[in-house]
Amino acid sequence: MPQASTADLYSVMSTLRAVRRLKPDPIPDDVLERILQAAAWAPSGGNVQPWRIVAVREPGIRADIGKLYAPQWEKYSRAAKLNLEGLEGDVKAKQTRTLAAADYLGEHMGEAPVLLVFCFNPAHMAITDIDLDRPSVVGGGSVYPALQNAMLACVQEGVGCTLTTLLCYEEEAMRALLQIPEDWYTCAVMPIGFPILGGHGPISRRPVNKLVYEDTFGSAITLQR
Amino acid sequence: MPQASTADLYSVMSTLRAVRRLKPDPIPDDVLERILQAAAWAPSGGNVQPWRIVAVREPGIRADIGKLYAPQWEKYSRAAKLNLEGLEGDVKAKQTRTLAAADYLGEHMGEAPVLLVFCFNPAHMAITDIDLDRPSVVGGGSVYPALQNAMLACVQEGVGCTLTTLLCYEEEAMRALLQIPEDWYTCAVMPIGFPILGGHGPISRRPVNKLVYEDTFGSAITLQR
C-alpha cells in the first residue's frame, strides 16, 4: 500500500470547512467523478452501501430544490438571528459572518452547479439502536462516512461544499421532484461548486482533550508527547 | 492552504478496510493523538461536536467490553453462517474469510490495545428527520464523519481498525462500565491496534455508476473522460 505523507491527509481534514458561496460555473466531469469515487470508497455496515446519490445538474431541477430550501433556511435563520442577540464580541462577529454566508446559500442554492442529494434505504441496514428509547443514529453510520469522503475529496479538488439536512422537512416534495422510490429516503443535500471567496481553510474545533476521555466518561485523556 | 497530491488522500480512502486481527501491542501516544485529532477535525451540525470518545486502554475495562461483545457477535455470526450456506464459489470463499476474521475479533476484542467508544448527546443535535415515519438517521450526520476521519487516520498511521454498532444492544451495561451520564448514549465501538496480518489494503465496492444517478433516481450518470 502506498504510504501518504502525514501532512497531506491531515491538511485536507483540517481545512474542510463549510463553503457556502459557490460559483455557478460547471464542475468538470473528471473532478466530479473523483468526488463521487471518494464517496463510493466509504465503508458501510456489511459492505452493503445502502445509499445512492442523485447528482442534480439540470438547471430547472436545481432551481426547484433551491425553492424548497429557501423557506426552510429562512425559518432556521430567523431563529439563529434571535440567538445572535445574546452574543458579544468575536463570537458574535464570527457567527454573524457565518449566517451571512448561509443566507447567501439560502437564496442561491439552486445556482450551485451540482446538488448531491444523498438517499438511503433503511431496509438494507442493520439498525442496532432502532428499539432503544432514544433517537436512533446507527443507520447514519452507513451513509455519512460516504458524505465525509465526498467532502474531503472536494477539499482535495478545490471545490467548495457544505451539507444541509434541512430538506428532510421537504422529503415528500424531494421524492416527487427526483422520482425517488417509496422505499428510499433522503438524508442530506450537498451543494458543490468552485468557491467565490477563499474556499476551504482554517477551522475551529474543540481540542482533543475536551472531546476524548480515558477509560471512563469525564476523565480527560493524558497523552505523552 | 497546502494542496496534497491526488494520490495520497485517495490511496488512503481506497485502502480503508476492516482490520479485525489486531496485535495487543500498545499504540504510541503520538500515533493515538493523531487519530483522535483527525476525529476532532470532523464537521458536525452547527459545529456543535455533539460526540465524545471514551478511549479505553485499561485492560480490565477492555476485557469487560470484550465479554459484552462476544455473545452479541456470536448471535450475529450464527445468522451469517446460515446465510453462507446459500452462497457459492468466490463469494462464499470471500465471506467465509471475512467471517473467520470477525470471529477472531469476537473472541479477542478485549485484547486490542485501545477501544474507542463513541458517545453522542441527541439534545445537542438538530435531528431534522426525527418526526418522519421512517428510521431517523440525521443524528448520525454529526458523529459518523468523526469516525470516518479516525479510520482514515488509522490507515495513514498503519493502525488496523474496524467499527461495530452491535454494542448498542448492551448500551446500559456499557453506560455502567464507562460511567456514561444519562443524557449521553453510545453509537459505535472501534477497536484499534497494529495489524497481525496485512492490515489495510484493497477493497471491493460498487462502481460509481451503480451508486450515482443523474437528475432523477434510477438514471445512471454519464461522465465524460
Residue B121 resides in a domain: yes
A168 to chain B: which residues are within 8 Å by CB? 128-129, 132, 138
Q: What is the pLDDT of residue B125?
A: 97
**What is the rounded distance in angstroms from the CA atom of residue B211 to the CA atom of residue A36?**
9
pLDDT in tens, B136-166: 999 999 999 999 999 999 999 999 999 999 9
Please report, in angstroms and rounded to a whole number, the separation of the first and last CA atoms in chain A.
28
Nearest CA in chain A to B15: A1
A156 within some domain: yes
Number of domains making up chain A: 1
Q: Do B136 and A137 touch (CB under 8 A)?
A: yes
Residue B218 in any domain: the answer is no
Domain for residue A109, yes or no?
Answer: yes
Q: How far apart (Å, rounded) are the C-alpha atoms in residues B112 and A25?
A: 49
Domain that holds residue A18: 6-211
Residue B150 and residue A111 in contact, taking contact as beta carbons nearer than 8 Å: no
CB contact B44 to A (< 8 Å): no
Residue ranges of the alpha helices (H) in B122-207? 144-157, 171-178
Query: A181 contacts in B (CB within 8 Å)?
Result: 217-218
Nearest to A125 by CA among B172, B136, B128: B136
B206 contacts A53 by C-beta, under 8 angstroms = no
Whether A4 sits inside 8 A of B58 (CB atoms) is no
> What distance in Å separates residue A88's CA from the closest CA in chain B?
18
pLDDT at position A6: 44
The closest alpha carbon to B3, from A31, A4, A158, belongs to A158
User: In angstroms, rounded to a whole number, what is the distance separating the alpha carbons of residues A158 and B205?
Assistant: 25
Q: Is the pLDDT of residue B18 over 60?
A: yes
Greater confidence (A102 vs A83) lies with A102
Give dist(CA A39, CA A146) in Å, integer: 4
Question: What confidence score (pLDDT) does residue A225 get?
Answer: 78
Interface confidence, given as ipTM, is 0.96
The cell for A14 is 483540517
Residue A223 domain flag: no
CA distance B87 to chain A (A): 16
Beta-carbon separation of A215 and B57 below 8 A: yes
Show residues of chain A in contact with B195, CB under 8 Å: none
The sign of the CA dihedral A60, A62, A68, A73 is negative
Is B222 inside a domain boundary? no
Q: Which helix (H) or strand (E) holds A38?
A: helix A29-41
At B159, which CATH number?
3.40.109.10
Task: For residue B223, tell me if it sits in a domain.
Answer: no
pLDDT of residue B225: 78
Q: CA of A32: how far to CAs of A119, A150, A153, A158, B41, in Å?
A: 18, 10, 9, 11, 24
pLDDT tens digits for range B50-92: 999 999 999 999 999 999 999 999 999 999 999 899 899 999 9
Question: Using a CB-CB distance cutoff of 8 angstroms, which residues of chain B are in contact with residue A61?
Answer: 215-216
State the Cα–Cα distance between residues A165 and B32, nearest whole angstrom. Answer: 32
- The pLDDT value recorded for residue B6 is 44
Residues of chain B with pLDDT > 70: what percent? 97
The 10s digit of each residue's pLDDT in B113-140 is 999 999 999 999 999 999 999 999 999 9
pLDDT grade for A4, boundaries at 50, 70 and 90? very low
The answer to whether residue B170 is domain-embedded is yes
C-alpha distance from residue A181 to each of A62, A98, A177, B128 (Å)? 19, 35, 11, 20
For A88-129, write each residue's pLDDT tens digit.
Answer: 999 999 999 999 999 999 999 999 999 999 999 999 999 999
Contact (CB, 8 A) for B162 and B156: no
Residue A221 CB coordination number (10 Å): 19
